[in-house]
Amino acid sequence: MAPRPFDCAGAWALITGGSSGIGAAFAAAYAARGANVILTGRDPARLQSTATDLERDFAVKTALVPADLAAPGAPQAIWERVRAAGLEVDILVNNAGYAVPGAFVDHPWSTHQAFIEVMVTSYVRLAHLAAPGMVARARGQIIQNASLAGLLPGAAGHTLYAPSKAFLITFAEGLFAELRGSGVAVCAVCPGLTRTPFHERTGAEGFVAKLPGALVSDPGAVAEASLAGLEAGRVIVTPGRVNAFAAALARFMPRSWARATFSGAARRLRGRRGGRDRSDAAQGASLSDQS
């Protein structure tokens, strides 16, 4: 059953990693529908630039909360600043993300711990902070930006990335079931390759640039498809026909076949064999901005 129509006009949308890429596209999509936007990210200058564009193009209000979600207390601190400003969050888009290239065993635990804080803990904590108010007001939307990778077998390199995204998908399914009928819509968005700074930071932009256009999505198209799926009551949204086909293929074929089918593409995307070739550029990408 589809949720009741959601009127975005005048609502406040909190978007993590909102200064570029898919996060900025979600901000623009909601602003186009009349929502005001709260942007979080690590770079205040980039946040301000995005906010300026939103205010100019859509005549909405914006608020900026610079934060590093790798810090364990960051979600609570973000929420306290939002509430101190007297803002009620009716829309939450958990979007912040990055990847840690190279082999799992080659990185110190502190690197993986920070990754889990950003990619798992912050998503759960912000949803836990935002959901009670949404339920009390009987209106809200929660979007978890997962990935097609979360629907596919894991592969060498970026070893925690796919598991983190798989968690977000099943978390969204559980929250969707729990909040059904409350007026709060929940979905996990599973985009495939998308033209964002993400691939530049992980050293894969050369591979992505050579792919046919049909295999690489536009951030704006991802955001619009995601909102359409959310408004239709779908809990998992996989934008793009090619991505939907890949997800279905992985779901119905034997797991061993799926690993063999998708491991080659994953290896080419990561630009290394087996995840052990750690160039300086690849190591630096682990410190990329969360957007």
Q: In whole angstroms, give the CA distance from residue 251 to residue 255.
A: 8
Q: In whole angstroms, give the CA distance from residue 65 to residue 212.
A: 37
Side chain identity, residue 109: W
Q: In whole angstroms, give the CA distance from residue 202 to residue 89.
A: 32
Which residues lie across from 14 on neighbouring strands?
38, 92
The DSSP code for 194 is B
Q: Give yes or no: 30 in active site.
A: no
Angle formed by the axes of helices 122-137 and 74-84, to 10°?
30
Q: In whole angstroms, give the CA distance from residue 78 to residue 33.
A: 24
What kind and span of H or E run contains 154?
Answer: none
Catalytic residue among 30, 98, 123, 161: 161
Q: In whole angstroms, give the CA distance from residue 33 to residue 239.
A: 20
What is the set of active-site residues? Answer: 161
